[in-house]
């Protein structure tokens, strides 16, 4: 009888389990990135403690992907399993009451048990913010990449079109990443401007380690040196990190949204 009782207990508990997706915004300045770190504070750790304190359960929060130290999010997606009966519309308020002011849960959704924040995602959008001015704004020091020189944004926009499509982006991946393939598809790159700030938006099915920041650095260097589209294509085809430009600073990067 014991195996039958154990099996019944397992399935009855499984039926009570809920899969909660949360959409999160955070300022990454004070954190060592998303992931729990042995020698620093990660955003994941702060959120897990906050969720555990309201559910009374040990929580593991799985995100759509990791963000590095200093990188921000406007719409990070993550999920966790719980037996809690807290109404879905109460989760954001309850969790936020346990969080510091630079991390906020914006929305919560009840998802099927097989929903996965990372593996169910179809595409992501990142934006990179650049402020162009000879004098830096002290209130935006950790929010935008501040450039003291003039940028030819028309040329940046023209060069960016080289990267739209499905390619091997190995030249735009930082070392220290183990991936099965370096082929990714960028579906759109768009520029928008307001108040001396330019946003470059990247939408794709996935991004390599530091890929967006290296693309931004390469585009800015390309505009400064009056690089041609053919030169950009050559960098892409080289598959050599040394051929691409510098890595733009982390504090200008935001994970804008994750689509499912």
Give me the number of domains the chain comprises: 2
Q: Residue 178 domain-assigned?
A: yes
Alpha helices in 38-79 (DSSP H): 43-55
Confidence of residue 14 (pLDDT cuts 50, 70, 90): low
By residue range, what is the domain housing residue 191? 123-259
Domain of residue 13, CATH code: 3.30.70.580
Overall average pLDDT of the 168-189 stretch: 94
Give the C-alpha separation, 202 to 68, whole Å: 17
Residue 72, both tokens: 């921000």
Give the C-alpha separation, 169 to 238, whole Å: 9
Are 130 and 214 found together in one domain? Answer: yes
Q: What is the pLDDT of residues 122-167, one digit of tens each?
A: 999 999 999 999 999 999 999 999 999 999 999 999 999 999 999 9
Are 64 and 161 found together in one domain? Answer: no
Q: Residue 117 domain-assigned?
A: no
Check: CB of residue 107 under 8 Å from CB of residue 54: no
Write down which residue in 80, 111, 142 finishes a domain.
111
| pLDDT score recorded for residue 61 | 98
In percent, the amount of the chain with pLDDT more than 90 equals 90
Check: CB of residue 60 under 8 Å from CB of residue 78: no
Q: Residue 210 domain-assigned?
A: yes
Determine which helix (DSSP H) or strand (DSSP E) holds 5, and give its type and residue range: helix 2-16
Overall average pLDDT of the 16-34 stretch: 96
Domain of residue 185, CATH code: 3.30.70.660
Are 105 and 184 found together in one domain? Answer: no
Are 28 and 107 found together in one domain? Answer: yes
Are 249 and 155 found together in one domain? Answer: yes
Q: Residue 40 domain-assigned?
A: yes
Of the candidates 68, 102, 168, 231, the residue annotated as catalytic is 68
In percent, the amount of the chain with pLDDT more than 70 equals 94
Are 133 and 102 found together in one domain? Answer: no
Q: What is the pLDDT of residues 74-119, one digit of tens each?
A: 999 999 999 999 999 999 999 999 999 999 999 999 999 999 999 9
Give the C-alpha separation, 232 to 230, whole Å: 5
Write down which residue in 86, 111, 136 finishes a domain.
111
68 is catalytic: yes
The pLDDT mean for the chain works out to: 93
Give the C-alpha separation, 65 to 182, whole Å: 16
DSSP string, 230-246: HHHHHHHHHT-GGGS-P
| pLDDT score recorded for residue 178 | 81
| pLDDT score recorded for residue 236 | 98
| pLDDT score recorded for residue 4 | 40
Are 105 and 135 found together in one domain? Answer: no
Whether 173 has a pLDDT exceeding 90, the answer reads yes
Confidence of residue 241 (pLDDT cuts 50, 70, 90): very high
- Strand 18-26 relative to strand 103-111: parallel, antiparallel, unpaired? antiparallel
């Amino acid at each position: 009888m014991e195996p039958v009782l154990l099996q019944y207990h397992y399935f009855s508990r499984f039926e009570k389990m809920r899969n909660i997706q949360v959409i999160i915004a955070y300022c990454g300045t004070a954190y060592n990135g998303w992931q729990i770190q042995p020698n620093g504070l990660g955003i994941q750790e702060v959120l897990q403690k906050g969720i555990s304190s309201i559910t009374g359960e040990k929580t593991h929060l799985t995100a759509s992907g990791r963000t590095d130290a200093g990188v921000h999010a406007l719409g990070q997606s993550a999920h966790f399993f719980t037996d809690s009966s807290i109404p879905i519309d109460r989760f954001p308020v309850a969790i936020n009451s346990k969080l510091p002011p630079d991390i906020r849960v914006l929305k919560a959704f009840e998802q099927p048990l097989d929903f996965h924040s990372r593996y169910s995602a179809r595409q992501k959008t990142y934006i990179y913010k650049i402020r162009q001015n000879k004098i830096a704004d002290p209130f935006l020091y950790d929010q935008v990449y501040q450039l003291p020189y003039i940028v030819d944004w028309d040329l940046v926009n023209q060069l960016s079109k080289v990267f739209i499509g499905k390619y091997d982006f190995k030249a735009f991946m930082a070392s220290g990443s183990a991936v099965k393939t370096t082929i990714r598809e960028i579906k759109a790159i768009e520029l928008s401007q307001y108040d001396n700030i330019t946003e470059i938006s990247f939408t794709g099915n996935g991004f390599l380690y530091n890929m967006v920041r290296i693309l931004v650095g390469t585009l800015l260097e390309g505009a400064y040196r009056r690089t041609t589209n053919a030169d950009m294509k050559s960098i892409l085809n080289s598959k050599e990190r040394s051929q691409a430009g510098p890595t733009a600073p982390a504090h200008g990067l935001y994970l804008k949204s994750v689509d499912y």
